[in-house]
Structure 1
């Protein structure tokens, strides 16, 4: 285990292995208890004794502070939980799908309802939706038309999703991202429950997952 070279915030991600227990070679430390309580500045010997009595580790969490900040914790458990959280975050990131819908600022009512239906379907499936307003010719001088259309769409689907990225101009286009209220896993579970045990065991035709 190599000594930490950078400080890391309490409870934050670990960029390098911190020093623990007798690897912490300083005269005194600012000690934080296992529940986040501030113990104060204590000699390193006292801090190590407290850790041993509590059957915990003394972990340096802010090496560049003067004196360094150390916390009493079960370091093995902490590392395990951090690894699980990181794995879950990667899994959720890998499953994030962004669908795209393109609209014209002067879209007719029927086309609007059709496009809105697609957005509703995507959000119900737990997918994010990137909505792009495409301006052509003189329409580029009327960005407010696109902004109002995006606001209208966000309002129409607010029960299913929220504006994750507010409307912004991108060249000739205006873009907004709507995120689903429900995670993809929740949407799938609800869909399977609605189909019933017999149907849920069979893949639905055209189901993209």
Structure 2
């Protein structure tokens, strides 16, 4: 039976027994406000629960005797579900992107690869940088080390070296971590999108106002043209 720490230092089972499902002869009873009542017969504890319009809930079944608490079990389950949802909402999934480079990479390719690393770090993701050695390059690990150092320096405003360069067979690996957490990065992207949308709305409003301002003048010109063609027309 799975369990989790409870407020009394014990464990709350994920399959709690309540009321008549508690079949032990006596329990260590805890009141609704956390106060210790003491060891009482289970029948008496059930009677106290009924009188208080509460449930008798076994919160530490491994205790001797088991620990039970008087509580509103429906409310307890609801609050636990709310906490679980909040925890899942606040949980950040750590994603590790990977970028592979050659120790003798040319400048153009380096700038392209660096651009990807910058994008990953801005998004709040970690980046695993792998330098791949081939043939005689394996005897020149300093080439990979210098390249990793250069990359770390080039993106230091966005990330930091979380795992220093180390040799792994034919490869050399370094991990960069973002300064900003995933949630912060998402919030910034969302704010930027909202700002861009607000700017577009403002531009549309300005264009509409300009068209509205010029419309009466256009209508007056059309009216004069119609009168010139047929002076008897009552406009």
Bin for the TM-score computed over the shorter chain: 0.5 to 0.7
Question: Does the 8 Å CA contact 1:7/1:63 hold for their aligned counterparts?
Answer: no
Which residue is equivalent to 1:206? none
1:72 deviation in Å? 4.0
Q: Higher relative contact order at CA 8 Å, sep ≥6: structure 1 or structure 2?
A: 1
The answer to whether the aligner puts 1:130 opposite 2:134 as a matched pair is: no
Instruction: Give the alignment of 1:2-21 within 5 angstroms.
Output: 5-10=1-6, 16-21=14-19
The structure that has the greater radius of gyration is 2
Structure with the bigger percentage of helix? 2
- CA displacement, residues 36-60 of structure 1 (integer Å, 9 cap, x when unaligned): x462642134544554465443322
Q: Supply the distance in 1 between the matched residues of 2:59 and 2:150 (Cα, whole angstroms).
A: 45
Which residue is equivalent to 2:76? 78
| Residues 49, 97 of structure 1: alpha-carbon distance in 2 compared, 3 angstrom cutoff | same
| Residues 83, 195 of structure 1: alpha-carbon distance in 2 compared, 3 angstrom cutoff | same
Kindly report the root-mean-square deviation, in angstroms, between the aligned alpha carbons of the 2 structures.
4.8
1:170 deviation in Å? 5.5
Which residue is equivalent to 2:59? 61
Which residue is equivalent to 1:192? 193
Instruction: Give the alignment of 1:120-199 within 5 angstroms.
Output: 120-126=118-124, 128-137=125-134, 138-139=137-138, 142=141, 146=145, 149=148, 153=152, 156-157=155-156, 160=158, 166=163, 171-173=169-171, 174=173, 176=175, 178=177, 180-183=180-183, 185-197=186-198, 199=200
Name structure 2 gaps, 5 residues minimum. Answer: 202-235
| Residues 86, 14 of structure 1: alpha-carbon distance in 2 compared, 3 angstrom cutoff | farther
Which residue is equivalent to 1:207? none
- CA displacement, residues 101-146 of structure 1 (integer Å, 9 cap, x when unaligned): 23456767876665444333333334x2332322414548849x65
The total of aligned residue pairs comes to 192
Instruction: Tell which deviates more after alignment, 9-18 or 179-188.
Output: 9-18
Q: Supply the distance in 1 between the matched residues of 2:158 and 2:35 (Cα, whole angstroms).
A: 43
1:25 deviation in Å? 1.9
- Please give the secondary structure, in 1, of the residue aligned with 2:196: helix
Q: Supply the distance in 2 between the matched residues of 1:161 and 1:51 (Cα, whole angstroms).
A: 57
Question: Does the 8 Å CA contact 2:6/2:12 hold for their aligned counterparts?
Answer: no
1:20 deviation in Å? 1.2
Instruction: Give the alignment of 1:24-39 within 5 angstroms.
Output: 24-32=22-30, 37=34, 39=36
Q: Supply the distance in 2 between the matched residues of 1:171 and 1:191 (Cα, whole angstroms).
A: 43
1:19 deviation in Å? 0.4
- Please give the secondary structure, in 2, of the residue aligned with 1:66: coil
Instruction: Tell which deviates more after alignment, 103-112 or 48-57.
Output: 103-112
Q: Supply the distance in 1 between the matched residues of 2:149 and 2:93 (Cα, whole angstroms).
A: 26
